[in-house]
Amino acid sequence: MPTVLITGTNRGIGLELARQYAAEGWRVHACLRNPASGGALKAIPGDIRLHELDVTDEDQIDRLAKALAGEAIDLLINNAALGGPEDDTDPDEWSEVFRVNSIAPVRILQVFLPHLALAKDPRVLNVTSRMGSIGDNSRGGSYAYRSSKAALNAAMKSFAIELKPKGITIAVMHPGWVQTDMGGPDAPVPVRTSAEGLRRTIAQMKPADTGAFYNYDGAPIPW
């Protein structure tokens, strides 16, 4: 049975990814800040295991890693994210966006490297945004969110280089403008379509593709 660990699964893309992987027979470690609010997750048929995880809480990350010690993780999905206010440059709020979007995925990957190392073909999917692309930025604004995603992309590119000899494939992927709480009801991409594309793209990646920046449909995005 393949195993996936997903952060930010209480709603949106994370919830749909959990649903789709469970439907295909995966064991799903679904992480969310408040498991008591995970009614939608509990209703999903399959091997869904809920875990309390605030991705900015170092102690919770370490406890979860210890609880899963010795278990292979075939796929780690860093999905939890914070949008941040539009055009905001308040230092405290900017720092919080960075903690969630940039630093937390790095720490989670570091802590769960032993679990990935136990898998036959380990992969890491980081749900980023094309708003973190410098080459694709034609609108400006969204300083905290853009810079936090650019930082995530840069960090994961470095991890991809360092972990390639260990057979760990890493990608950063834009999920599209999705019909979620963050994307809003007028977004053009249904959650199901985005999740399906993310899953298909990460599954089709070859070791030589590690460190790539993709759209959910597999199209490359400029850095």
The half-sphere exposure of 37 on its side-chain side, counting CA atoms within 13 A, is: 11
Residue 183 scores a pLDDT above 70: no
Asked if 20 and 194 touch (Cβ cutoff 8 Å), the reply is no
The pLDDT of residue 32 is 97
Statement: 3-215 belongs to CATH 3.30.70.2860: no
Give the lowest-confidence range in 53-57, 88-92, 171-175. Answer: 88-92
Block residue for tokens 């590119």 = 157
CA distance 194 to 217: 8
Amino acid identity, position 84: G
pLDDT of 109 reads 98
Separation of alpha carbons 35 and 77, rounded Å? 18
What does the alpha-carbon distance between residue 102 and residue 117 come to, in Å, rounded to a whole number? 23
Q: How confident is the model at residue 158 (pLDDT cuts 50, 70, 90)?
A: very high
pLDDT digits (tens, 9 = 90+) for 13-61: 999 999 999 999 999 999 999 998 888 999 999 999 999 999 999 999 9
Specify the 3-state DSSP secondary structure of 4: strand
Kindly list the domain boundaries of the chain, sorted by start residue.
3-215
Determine if residue 188 is left, alpha or beta; phi over 0 gives left, psi from -120 to 50 gives alpha, anything else beta: alpha
State percent of the chain over pLDDT 70. Answer: 97
In this prediction, residue 133 carries a pLDDT of 96
What is residue 168's predicted lDDT score, i.e. its pLDDT? 98
Instruction: State the Cα torsion 2-178-50-94 to the nearest 10°.
Output: 120
Question: pLDDT for 186-219, tens place per residue?
Answer: 777 889 999 999 999 999 999 999 999 999 999 9
Q: What is the pLDDT of residue 178?
A: 83
